[in-house]
């Protein structure tokens, strides 16, 4: 695949297919773009549309080691042909995988519950925290998202759900030095006042504090640059109230932040629970809760937890292949280098384009935050950039409370040449949209 | 593989592997058998142990069209090598699959939400029911099980969870004519009195009735033979109170009950929501909520529901291959014939063995219920039969409130020869255990 820019058009096939899709999955199953993109194949960082266009994938984090990675595909195919079974029987592959996965964590995080998705992982982590603490209160970040279930909908503010925020939930506004003009210590002090009040309110309400649940990158929130010490201080407040710390690494894990394996290593903290999902099996459904021996013992001895699909030999083979590819291709180092270079290129773009308020992100998860000439968040421009980039053969998206942050989060095999292509087209896109 | 009976022994490898497993997945991750069974490969209805024994699999329902079914394996391998992506882009495979799946349902059930597991499906069905009705109350069967999440733990009585039964939950004792000596009309009247009281209690408590959630086979409950008209009458009570009906077809679906595709077709009812899981992808993680256009519209327009892993081209390929194999090999017909023959053989066994209180089950899901000479449930004997059958190279398990029902629920490709082998060994096992 080449990545030559072409004008994408929705083919008659795509329209007919969308009609069939609406008649089965319904009209609300979300799709990207004004005219949804019909895909037929993928390879590495490239996705081929039914329109014949090869799109540079600068968006998808699930195909972590590349679309259709041959090592992962072979591992899945070979194991699926040999044996796929649940964990009530014993299989070597799942134990090998558990050992390899746990070796990437700090020593105290030495046990794993495998699940079928990040939603199942966050559900389980909350069950463990509630049972351990005897409390129900949960602290989350405002405009966050952690999964599709009822308990998770009750703490979701980052997308539309009908469930009201639970009376046991407090959502903290995450401070962002990238867009807040005030001094860091002022921003930090205000944010910690809010956190202190939230913890006090949970305690006073009788819910108490079972857990802080947070994505170390605050992805859905728009990749804020949080004041130094903020996360550690909130963790301290939660611990003082008896709560546990759950790092939701569904988006920030597996080297996404560059060099470090886990996003929570950005901060000087030690979570008791870490939840995993999306990139874990390169698209094969796989999630996990990594925790301590003590918490596993407490929960496991008091509850029968069995997850039919989780920990099958095929999912273990997929997970193992992802870890192996990450090591063999030094993808954590690559994410650091390409990510750092990305921020340099984005800063250059920002200098040339006053619509760019800030460069956001860490490692291989980055974006630009746009404002209008009056300094207000510019969701319209952000949307136009995303649509225009698609026409230029590059897939990105948008995120954040005001929907005004580009979401650029490619597979970890995204290299310097791909970044150069992305930057060229983003430059052209911003130039064209400014001229329009 | 041959299926010659051999004495299974736990190999040193299995012991070392169990030690490594306990050190990673922990000691509570459930396994079958006094000495867990270490498996290395599978084919059709056969599983090969690390001990070199070929075990006849008369237990596992997930490998629905057979362990390592070549059609399914090829579909997964081919699609994994071509493209695996979520549903925010458009792909033909998922639409093809949705159409094929929906074609197996009554016309009013014409929309599907795909999920990654049965737990996710039941979670979603309950969200839909609560939002539609504005009520929270749920009616379930006592000693049921519907999944691993908090909301589902709150209505679980069929296995150990620390969450107490929710104040919004009423668990109905399912009547069983196979073990209840009273006249059917007496049993039915008592059971409906209990259901009426439960509905009234939910209404009076202010929770109201959002849904009846039930497994049409009442699998975990021990495969009771419910009085004719029981399920339909309970459905009527729930409907009168404004509640919806959710058929949990994770165990009873996809032809398991013989001939009919869905377990709820056993009764003259039309559920608004049907949840699917286990056998759907032959082991590839895949679940679904099938519902009406009206309910999808109501929920979908008010909530953004996106499930990362669900509806990927690979899961659609797996699901499609399962449906194709079911049709090509006429597995629903086979399940009916082999299941009917199984009950004949089990009745013969029952006539010879006074420890057998009843023959249980429907289609290719059957078992024997054991009592001691005093007529009390005999969990000990049931456990010994399961262990002894493993030594004879046949895998089964046990189920039910008193753990005294054999759980025999093989892949749907289980044929007459396999059944003959199973019956022979079960006869030998009961003979040996009685003599002991």
Q: How far apart are alpha carbons A407 and A281 in whole angstroms?
A: 22
- With contact defined as beta carbons under 8 Å apart, do B156 and B126 qualify? no
Band of the pLDDT at B9, cuts 50, 70, 90? low
The verdict on a CB contact (< 8 Å) between B68 and A89 is no
Which positions in chain B touch A307 (Cβ < 8 Å)? 117, 119, 148
Q: Which residues pair with A290 in a beta bridge?
A: A112, A274
- With contact defined as beta carbons under 8 Å apart, do A174 and A226 qualify? yes
Mean pLDDT (whole number) for A372-397: 97
State residue A9's pLDDT score: 54
**A251-275 tens-digit pLDDT:** 999 999 999 999 999 999 999 999 9
Mean pLDDT (whole number) for B263-275: 97
Phi, psi of B356 (to 5 degrees): -85, 115
Give the one of B112, B116, B127 whose C-beta lies nearest to A153's C-beta.
Answer: B127
Band of the pLDDT at B4, cuts 50, 70, 90? very low
Q: How far apart are alpha carbons B127 and A185 in whole angstroms?
A: 43
pLDDT at B118 over 80: yes
Tokens of A119: 């939603």
Instruction: Using a pLDDT cut of 90, give the percent of chain B over it.
Output: 96
Q: How far apart are alpha carbons A116 and A250 in whole angstroms?
A: 12
Give the one of B161, B302, B306 whose C-beta lies nearest to A30's C-beta.
Answer: B306
Tokens of A435: 């001229």
Nearest to B250 by CA among B45, B62, B32, B31: B62
Which positions in chain A touch B292 (Cβ < 8 Å)? none
pLDDT at B1 over 60: no
At A380, which helix (H) or strand (E)? Answer: helix A379-391
State residue A16's pLDDT score: 92
Residues B43, B44, B50, B53, CA torsion sign: negative
The verdict on a CB contact (< 8 Å) between A296 and B81 is no
State residue A10's pLDDT score: 59
State residue A244's pLDDT score: 98
State residue B10's pLDDT score: 59
User: Angle of helix A70-82 relative to helix A313-328, nearest 10 degrees?
Assistant: 160
Q: How far apart are alpha carbons B32 and A355 in whole angstroms?
A: 62
pLDDT at A8 over 60: no
Classify A300 as helix, strand or coil.
helix
Contacts A–B by Cβ distance under 8 A:
339
Q: How far apart are alpha carbons A222 and A240 in whole angstroms?
A: 29
The verdict on a CB contact (< 8 Å) between A31 and B90 is yes
Tell me, what's the ipTM? 0.96
Give the one of A24, A76, A305 whose C-beta lies nearest to B99's C-beta.
Answer: A24
- With contact defined as beta carbons under 8 Å apart, do A218 and A174 qualify? yes
The verdict on a CB contact (< 8 Å) between A284 and B314 is yes
The verdict on a CB contact (< 8 Å) between A99 and B123 is no
The verdict on a CB contact (< 8 Å) between B162 and A131 is yes
The verdict on a CB contact (< 8 Å) between B31 and A90 is yes
Burial class from Cβ neighbours inside 10 Å (0-12, 13-18, 19+) for residue B436 reads exposed
Q: How far apart are alpha carbons A80 and B69 in whole angstroms?
A: 9
Mean pLDDT of chain B: 96
**A279-307 tens-digit pLDDT:** 999 999 999 999 999 999 999 999 999 99
The verdict on a CB contact (< 8 Å) between A297 and B26 is yes
Q: Do β-strands A394-395 and A54-57 pair in parallel, antiparallel, or remain unpaired?
A: parallel
Tokens of B181: 């000596």
Q: DSSP letter string over B201-251?
A: HHHHTT----EEEE-TT-TTTT---PPTTHHHHHHHHHHHTT-EEEEE-TT
The verdict on a CB contact (< 8 Å) between B17 and A90 is yes
Q: Which residues pair with B367 in a beta bridge?
A: B360
State residue B5's pLDDT score: 47
pLDDT at A426 over 50: yes
Q: How far apart are alpha carbons A377 and A296 in whole angstroms?
A: 44
Mean pLDDT of chain A: 96
pLDDT at B12 over 90: no
Q: Tell me chain B's radius of gyration from C-alpha atoms.
A: 22
Instruction: Using a pLDDT cut of 70, give the percent of chain B over it.
Output: 97
Q: How far apart are alpha carbons A248 and A271 in whole angstroms?
A: 10
Mean pLDDT (whole number) for A123-136: 98
At A405, which helix (H) or strand (E)? Answer: strand A405-407
Choose, out of B8, B14, B25, the residue to mutate when testing the contact with A (most A CBs < 10 Å). B25
Mean pLDDT (whole number) for A135-148: 97
State residue B340's pLDDT score: 97
Q: Give the residue with greater pLDDT, B65 vs A4.
A: B65
Phi, psi of B161 (to 5 degrees): -135, 155
Q: How far is CA A373 from CA A377, A428, A434, B2, in A?
A: 10, 20, 12, 77
State residue A133's pLDDT score: 98
Give the one of B17, B37, B92 whose C-beta lies nearest to A95's C-beta.
Answer: B17
Chain B CA closest to residue A109: B24
Nearest CA of chain A to the CA of B402: how many Å? 17
pLDDT at A34 over 90: yes
The verdict on a CB contact (< 8 Å) between A87 and B296 is no
Instruction: Using a pLDDT cut of 70, give the percent of chain A over it.
Output: 97
pLDDT at A5 over 50: no
**A337-361 tens-digit pLDDT:** 999 999 999 999 999 999 999 999 9
**A191-236 tens-digit pLDDT:** 999 999 999 999 999 999 999 999 999 999 999 999 999 999 999 9
Q: Which residues pair with B287 in a beta bridge?
A: B115
């Amino acid at each position: 695949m080449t990545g030559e820019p072409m004008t994408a058009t929705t083919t008659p096939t795509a329209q007919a297919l969308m009609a069939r899709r609406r008649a089965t999955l319904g009209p609300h199953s979300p799709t990207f773009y004004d005219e949804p993109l019909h895909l037929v194949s993928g390879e590495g960082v490239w996705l081929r549309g039914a329109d014949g266009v090869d799109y540079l994938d600068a968006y998808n984090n699930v195909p972590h080691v590349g679309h259709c990675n041959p090592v992962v595909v072979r591992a899945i195919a070979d194991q699926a042909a040999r044996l796929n079974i649940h964990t009530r029987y014993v299989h070597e592959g799942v134990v090998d995988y558990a050992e390899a996965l746990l070796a990437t964590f700090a020593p105290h995080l030495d046990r794993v519950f495998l699940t079928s998705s990040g939603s199942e992982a966050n559900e389980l982590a909350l069950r463990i925290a509630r049972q351990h603490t005897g409390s129900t209160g949960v602290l989350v970040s405002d405009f966050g998202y952690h999964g599709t279930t009822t308990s998770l909908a009750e703490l979701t503010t980052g997308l539309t759900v009908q469930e009201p925020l639970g009376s046991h939930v407090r959502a903290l506004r995450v401070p962002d030095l990238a867009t807040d003009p005030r001094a860091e210590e002022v921003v930090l002090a205000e944010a910690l006042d809010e956190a202190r009040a939230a913890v006090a309110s949970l305690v006073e309400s009788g819910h108490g504090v079972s857990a802080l649940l947070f994505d170390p990158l605050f992805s859905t929130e728009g990749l804020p640059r949080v004041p130094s010490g903020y996360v550690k201080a909130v963790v301290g407040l939660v611990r003082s109230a008896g709560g546990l710390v759950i790092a939701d690494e569904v988006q920030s894990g597996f080297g996404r932040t560059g060099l470090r394996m886990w996003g929570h290593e950005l901060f000087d903290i030690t979570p008791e629970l870490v939840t995993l999902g999306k990139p874990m099996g390169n698209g094969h459904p796989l999630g996990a809760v990594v925790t301590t021996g003590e918490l596993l013992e407490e929960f496991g001895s008091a509850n029968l937890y069995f997850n039919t699909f989780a920990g099958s030999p095929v999912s273990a083979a997929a997970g193992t292949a992802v870890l192996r590819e990450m090591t063999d291709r030094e993808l954590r180092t690559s994410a650091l280098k390409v990510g750092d270079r990305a921020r340099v290129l984005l800063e250059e773009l920002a200098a040339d384009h006053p619509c760019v308020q800030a460069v956001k992100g860490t490692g291989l998860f980055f974006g630009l935050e746009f404002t209008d000439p009056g300094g207000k968040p510019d969701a319209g421009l952000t949307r136009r950039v995303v649509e225009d980039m698609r026409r230029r053969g590059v897939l990105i998206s948008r995120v954040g409370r005001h929907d005004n942050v580009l979401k650029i989060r490619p597979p970890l095999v995204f290299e310097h040449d791909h970044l150069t292509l992305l930057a060229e087209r983003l430059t052209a896109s911003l130039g064209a949209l400014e001229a329009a």
